[in-house]
Structure 1
Amino acid sequence: MEQPLDYQEKTAGRNMVTDVPVFSENDTLKDIEDFLIDRSSQFNSLDYIYLTDKINTLVGVISIKDLLVTVDKTLKASKIMVSNLVTAQVDTDQERLVYLALSHGLKSIPVVNEEGGFMGVVPYDTILQIFNHEVQSDVFKFGGIFHRIGDEYTSIHSSAIHMIRSRLPWLIIGVIGGTLAASLIAQFEELLSSFIALASFIPVMVYMSDAAGAQTEALIIRSMALDTKLNVRKYLTREVVVATVLAAISGLFAAFMAYVTRQNLILGVIIFFALFLSIIASVTINTLAPLILRKFKYDPALATGPLATIFSDIATLAIYLAVAMTLLGN
């Protein structure tokens, strides 16, 4: 099995092939068909016929099916070509290649340079390989596996030592984060013992902030993969609005449930303000983490799972206990 590419190499230019049928837009269909019949074996990809002008600018494509079903073979290729093209550039991220192929129903993606010059094609088998690798990679990273994804995770014969090495680092980080959270709670033991209902709602607070953060992180990582020129300011502005609305509605509902189950108004008020602030903090953490990692040339997907959860959990507990202490008057 072919090994996956490093993150810095995950581009269209690294995945394309150049042995594909390329003709002039002025060639006739008969000339193209005769040439393909004689020399089809020399091509790595034969899904589409690519048409260029005199300066090698990609101007259109013809599917093999359209070529064969057209009766009048004296027509020029430009008469039946598709000119509204979906293309990628050499530096296009490979995750976007998969998105382009699936969303437009294409078997292969042509690659062009900045001037529109034809460079090559990313064929369907490579697109499927990328798709399979990216799905595995994202699943493993969400699960906290601290390693590049390759054959070792698609085989049942991986050694126990190797599996332990790749999974242990995130768990150790999780223990450190959990210890910090426990130390934080220990500072408020007197408060919690005097108002035991506060302790019973800690799982609710942590779960809600983690859930909101996970949603946010999944969306921004997908947006960054699909749009390499993502307008960060516009995206953050929208995310702030969404987070505020979600936090307000979730906080009100949680406060209502707290009041109904405990018959304590002040507990409901604490839950509302704490959850409102916690969700906004979690959304902020999970939005900024992938952006920061990308800034430093790391794979944004590494911000998922345990790392973001640790910071989100600590922030949630700190906010919850601080709000409780403030509203209860020390």
Structure 2
Amino acid sequence: MANDAGLSAEPINFEIAAAHATSRVPIASPASLVADVRAELMGGDFDTANLVVVEDQGLFRGIVRLEALLAAPPRQLIGDLMDREPPVVAPGVDQEVAAWRAVRHREAALVLVDASGRFQGVIPPDRLLAILLAEHDEDLTRIGGFMKDTAAVRTASLEPVPRRFRHRLPWLLVGLAGAFVAAGFVARFEEQLQQMLILVFFIPGIVYLADAVGTQTETVVVRGLSVGVPLRRMVARELAAGLAIGLALGMTAGPLVYLLWHDLDVALIVALSVSAACSTATLVAMLLPWLLSMSGRDPAFGSGPLATVVQDLLSILIYFGIATALM
């Protein structure tokens, strides 16, 4: 009654339905009596027994669910009781497609049938649930832009404190070094600051706006890379968006500075600096995640701190460079 043949001796692709199926299930013919099938179930050793597969001359004909088998009259034929059109999938179908087909049809298990109509196995309820959980985790991590590998995500989430420390601290030390370099850049423009102290007031705002624009682009790029979208498909649109955002912020900041401080030179410096810094932030935020991804490092850990450092330095250089040129 039970089919003990294995599915395949070839290397298994764990992303397809066949990798999760078993053929150790109750099997009967359409001419079998309900009483006989029940008796064989009592002494059988199956991986799952919540349905009986019905075969005739080697071809799949349908299934009988356990609850229907238990409720049927003993002398009824299995062929009269079976569901002739249950949901089935091919062995090579993606595991997620298979699992969701079972969910949509409210099936506790799913039957695999090949192109010739022969029964290949059943995905039991516990394996369907495991597939759904794994695919759910993978979708969330990809949407969040963390990692492609769900196992790697779980490892990173559960790793001990010393490993967390080692993974994160180096990037933050890079940020600390960048802070000292930024302080050095500001010191080099001491003369300009003495001539126009008001310039100091706008450094935090320009740096923040550039970082914010860069963070938005970085999030889009990291998410895109994590789901396999090539950078070349994102470059043109992100650059155009960054340029448009930079121009819009600059055209907004300039008049506001002039309205509040009544200094046309400062207003022009701030407007140009905001536009240039925000536009370059988009380029930096695209390149760094891509470089980290190409080098085999997780862009979710490194791109944020590194992009912040690089963009902060560029924003300060752009700001004081424009100020020096216009003063």
Normalising by the residue count of structure 1, what TM-score does the alignment of the two structures yield? 0.59
| Cα separation, 2, equivalents of 1:289 and 1:49 | 52
Alpha-carbon shift at residue 136 of structure 1 (Å)? 9.4
Q: Deviations over 1:4-33 (max 9, x none)?
A: xxxxx9944897352553869xx5396799
Contact 1:98–1:130 at 8 Å: present in 2 too?
no
Alpha-carbon shift at residue 174 of structure 1 (Å)? 3.2
Alpha-carbon shift at residue 270 of structure 1 (Å)? 1.9
Q: Deviations over 1:60-84 (max 9, x none)?
A: 986849987999953798951445x
Name the counterpart of 1:177. 174
Name the counterpart of 1:105. 103
Change (3 A) 1:325 1:257: same
Contact 1:244–1:280 at 8 Å: present in 2 too?
yes
1:251 aligns to 2:246 (yes or no): yes
Alpha-carbon shift at residue 98 of structure 1 (Å)? 5.3
Alpha-carbon shift at residue 104 of structure 1 (Å)? 7.5
Contact 2:210–2:311 at 8 Å: present in 1 too?
yes
Alpha-carbon shift at residue 251 of structure 1 (Å)? 1.7
Superposed, 1:80-95 pairs within 5 Å as: 80-82=85-87, 85=89
| Cα separation, 1, equivalents of 2:310 and 2:129 | 45
| Cα separation, 2, equivalents of 1:108 and 1:118 | 13
Alpha-carbon shift at residue 278 of structure 1 (Å)? 1.2
Name the counterpart of 1:74. 79
What is the root-mean-square deviation in Å for CA atoms of aligned residues?
5.1
Counterpart secondary structure, 2:47: coil
Q: Deviations over 1:224-272 (max 9, x none)?
A: 4xxxxxxx5xx43331233124313332332234224423133222212
Greater shift after overlay, 124-133 or 162-171? 124-133
Counterpart secondary structure, 1:201: helix
Contact 1:247–1:275 at 8 Å: present in 2 too?
yes
Counterpart secondary structure, 1:187: helix
Greater shift after overlay, 269-278 or 247-256? 247-256
Pick aligned residue for 1:262 from 257, 262, 279: 257
Name the counterpart of 2:208. 203
Alpha-carbon shift at residue 211 of structure 1 (Å)? 3.0
Counterpart secondary structure, 2:22: coil
Whichever residue aligns with residue 281 of structure 2, its letter is S
| Cα separation, 1, equivalents of 2:13 and 2:252 | 48
Identity %: 10
Query: Please, which runs of 5 or more residues in structure 2 have no aligned partner?
Result: 1-11, 194-198, 259-266
Pick aligned residue for 2:41 from 39, 42, 67: 39
Query: Please, which runs of 5 or more residues in structure 1 have no aligned partner?
Result: 1-8, 154-161, 225-231
| Cα separation, 2, equivalents of 1:204 and 1:273 | 11
Name the counterpart of 1:228. none
Contact 1:17–1:44 at 8 Å: present in 2 too?
no
| Cα separation, 1, equivalents of 2:181 and 2:136 | 42
Q: Which has the larger radius of gyration?
A: 2
Whichever residue aligns with residue 175 of structure 1, its letter is L
Whichever residue aligns with residue 201 of structure 1, its letter is I
Name the counterpart of 2:7. none
Contact 1:88–1:112 at 8 Å: present in 2 too?
no
Contact 2:26–2:51 at 8 Å: present in 1 too?
no
Counterpart secondary structure, 2:231: helix
Contact 2:91–2:113 at 8 Å: present in 1 too?
yes
| Cα separation, 1, equivalents of 2:285 and 2:53 | 48
Change (3 A) 1:51 1:73: closer
Whichever residue aligns with residue 281 of structure 1, its letter is V
Counterpart secondary structure, 1:80: coil
Counterpart secondary structure, 2:289: helix
Q: Deviations over 1:188-215 (max 9, x none)?
A: 2134872322343212222331232123
Whichever residue aligns with residue 312 of structure 1, its letter is A
Change (3 A) 1:211 1:81: same
Change (3 A) 1:206 1:46: farther
Pick aligned residue for 2:304 from 297, 302, 309: 309
Change (3 A) 1:81 1:149: closer
Greater shift after overlay, 239-248 or 283-292? 283-292
Q: Deviations over 1:34-66 (max 9, x none)?
A: 64774387443457777999999xx89868499
Contact 2:87–2:101 at 8 Å: present in 1 too?
no
Name the counterpart of 1:242. 237
Name the counterpart of 2:25. 21
| Cα separation, 1, equivalents of 2:275 and 2:35 | 70
Name the counterpart of 2:4. none
Normalising by the residue count of structure 2, what TM-score does the alignment of the two structures yield? 0.60
